[in-house]
Amino acid sequence: MFDLELEANIESLEKSQTEAEFIVKKTGELIAFNQRAVDLFGYSCKADMEKLHLKDLVPDDFAGLLPGEISIEHLTKGEFLPRVNKRKNGSVFSSFVKTWPIIIGNESYVRTTVKERFVSQDIKHLMLEQNMDVLKCELVRERNRNFGVLLGASQQRINQELCQILRELYPNLNHKDMELASLISFNFETKAIASIQNICLNSVYVARKRLRKKLNLDKTQSLENYLKQLLDRPMEA
């Protein structure tokens, strides 16, 4: 199951010709990327990027601030944010980056999209803003930990439970259906879903309609409520 889902995700990466696409472990290791990523970051071939870490793709000072494990607080949740990245030769460039959680098998990973940003803004100022952002994320994570609200672990657990339930009840669902169901269950708005899945708003509506059909929902049933009901149902002994 893992290999099939990973292969499907890799195929979706390769469809993008204009943006660098990655699948990353929560600990930062790259497990898949497309040819555009190789070109954008200045590597000669995919073999050169194997075994790289996210820290290899960002300025050194920013790399030193990155946590040992990516949590929900560090994700952009499908929105493009201004960032600074580093090429193989050490040069830095301005970019837009978006990140969001995905499930492959029963494990959580991070899907990342990077596109070059051509701006006149001082790159050092952008790097400072980027460093401040990651520090703010760490403060939020620490605050959540202090209050016992482990959002990252909680959302990942819920996501895994939902995917497991859907696989058991609806084996005909593909990884895109699973991803859409997860995003809907986390209350992502249609615009954010479109950005995450790199599709237009109308395609999101079509995908929702297709998902409803696969779940055998009638017109009176709410897709959002149905997904919540699946998670709230009592576990079988």
Query: pTM, whole model, 2 decimals?
Result: 0.58
* Number of structural domains found in the chain: 2
Separation of alpha carbons 134 and 69, rounded Å: 13
> Is the domain of 223 the same as that of 162?
yes
Average confidence score pLDDT of the chain: 82
pLDDT, tens digit (0-9, with 9 covering 90-100), for 9-32: 777 777 777 899 999 999 999 999
pLDDT, tens digit (0-9, with 9 covering 90-100), for 53-89: 999 999 998 888 888 888 777 888 778 988 999 999 9
Q: How confident is the model at residue 3 (pLDDT cuts 50, 70, 90)?
A: low
**pLDDT at 155 (0 to 100):** 59
> Is the domain of 102 the same as that of 165?
no
131 within some domain: no
- Tell me: pLDDT of 146 over 50: no
Report percent pLDDT > 90 for the chain.
37
> Is the domain of 93 the same as that of 21?
yes
130 within some domain: no
124 within some domain: no
166 within some domain: yes
DSSP letters, the chain, are -HHHHHHHHHHHHHT-SSSEEEEEETTSBEEEE-HHHHHHTT-SSHHHHTT-BGGGGS-HHHHTT--SS--GGG--TT--EEEEEE-TTS-EEEEEEEEEEEEETTEEEEEEEEEE----S-HHHHHHHHHHHHHHHHHHHHHHHHTT--HHHHHHHHHHHHHHHHHHH-TT--HHHHHHHHHHHTT--HHHHHHHTT--HHHHHHHHHHHHHHTT--TTS-HHHHHHHHHHSPPP-
Q: From the CB of residue 105, how many other CB atoms can be counted at a distance below 10 Å? A: 14
Residues in contact with 155: Cβ distance below 8 Å, sequence separation at least 6, in sequence order: 72, 101, 186
192 within some domain: yes
CATH number for position 46: 3.30.450.20
Q: To 10 degrees, what angle do helices 201-214 and 223-232 make?
A: 50
139 within some domain: no
pLDDT, tens digit (0-9, with 9 covering 90-100), for 171-226: 888 878 888 888 888 788 888 788 777 678 888 999 999 999 999 999 889 999 99
> Is the domain of 151 the same as that of 45?
no
> Is the domain of 14 the same as that of 110?
yes
138 within some domain: no
> Is the domain of 14 the same as that of 95?
yes
Of 34-43, 74-83, 106-115, 148-157, the one with minimum mean pLDDT is: 148-157
Range of the domain at 114: 4-119
> Is the domain of 93 the same as that of 167?
no
115 within some domain: yes
CATH number for position 180: 3.40.50.2300
> Is the domain of 79 the same as that of 161?
no
**Residue where a domain terminates, one of 102, 119, 136:** 119
> Is the domain of 113 the same as that of 153?
no
**pLDDT at 115 (0 to 100):** 94
